[in-house]
Structure 1
């Protein structure tokens, strides 16, 4: 059971969107590379897949995360 009372925001932030988009591009690139038997391109995709969460974390620390100083909350 969670003791948290507030809504954490579910990742609706520029940091989360940027991380997810980078990882989606990485998975698409890796899939195409495997289809074309291009191992160098595949490993570029793997590198981007690792880079996505790191970029998201950096943007969160820079204030673009949920409830960050530079992130405007959306009205529902």
Structure 2
């Protein structure tokens, strides 16, 4: 398990599972030469991305990382010269 927690959220799991099912559906129907079934699978893949994004927006995803604070620069010493 990664220490960053990347992808270990309900939003990520749900989006990936829906997309995986869509991938399987599209794969089966392309082998069967069924064009409407193939496109239904493609729609499921996109739906997985949308559902995952909506769940993340609803607070079920990982919080976005904050940008690193800029390093504090050392105070410049007056130059004698």
Q: Which has the larger radius of gyration?
A: 2
Q: How many residues align?
A: 61
In the alignment, which of 55, 59, 62 is matched to residue 55 of structure 2? 59
What secondary structure sits across from 1:48 in the alignment? helix
**Distance across 2 between alignment mates of 1:31 and 1:44:** 11
**Alignment RMSD (CA, Å):** 1.2
**Distance across 2 between alignment mates of 1:29 and 1:51:** 13
Instruction: Give 5+ residue unaligned stretches, structure 1.
Output: 1-6, 68-76
| TM-score normalised per structure 2 | 0.70
**Structural mapping, 1:25-44, within 5 Å:** 25-44=21-40
Deviation at 1:50, TM superposition (A): 1.1
**Runs of 4+ deviating beyond 3 Å:** none
Instruction: Give 5+ residue unaligned stretches, structure 2.
Output: 64-81
